[in-house]
């Protein structure tokens, strides 16, 4: 009497493939998320620094406007020139 046992090659191939997917999938996802969040944090830091610089320059200009209301056009021209200079510097 000959017993027919199922071949196990396909089962082992399935297990090894599934195991690789289980190990490589989360590692890839963690790597991608780390790169994405690092990039986002850098962008937020750049925007925050730019806003701080803008606020630092805004306070003296507001003081000039309060002291000399008729000179607002001069201040606007100065702001325009400073923006153009910043664009040329970057």
Q: pLDDT tens for residues 6-59? A: 666 788 888 899 999 999 999 999 999 999 999 999 999 998 888 888 777 776
| Inside any domain, residue 5 | no
Number of domains in the chain: 1
Look up the pTM and report it: 0.44
State the number of CA atoms in the 13 A half-sphere of 46 facing the CB. Answer: 6
User: Do residues 87 and 62 touch, judged by C-beta distance below 8 A?
Assistant: no
| 27 within some domain | yes
Query: Looking at the predicted structure, is the pLDDT value of residue 1 above 60?
Result: no
Task: Domain of residue 73: give its range.
Answer: 10-89
The pLDDT score that the predictor gives to residue 75 is 67
Is residue 73 a part of any domain in this protein? yes
For 37-82, give the DSSP string.
HHHHHHHHHHHHHHHHHHHHHHHHHHHHHHH-GGGHHHHHHHHHHH
The pLDDT of residue 13:
86
Confidence of residue 89 (pLDDT cuts 50, 70, 90): low
Residue 81 banded pLDDT, cuts 50, 70, 90: confident
Cα–Cα distance measured from residue 46 to residue 88, given in angstroms and rounded to the nearest whole number: 18
Q: How confident is the model at residue 62 (pLDDT cuts 50, 70, 90)?
A: low
């Amino acid at each position: 009497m000959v017993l027919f046992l199922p071949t196990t090659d396909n089962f082992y191939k399935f297990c090894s493939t599934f195991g690789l997917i289980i190990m490589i999938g989360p590692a890839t996802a963690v790597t991608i998320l780390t790169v994405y969040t690092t990039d986002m944090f850098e962008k937020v830091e750049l925007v925050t620094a730019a806003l701080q610089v803008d606020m630092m320059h805004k306070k003296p200009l507001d003081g000039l406007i309060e002291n000399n209301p008729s000179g607002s056009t001069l201040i606007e021209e100065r702001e325009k020139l400073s923006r153009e200079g910043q664009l040329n510097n970057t």
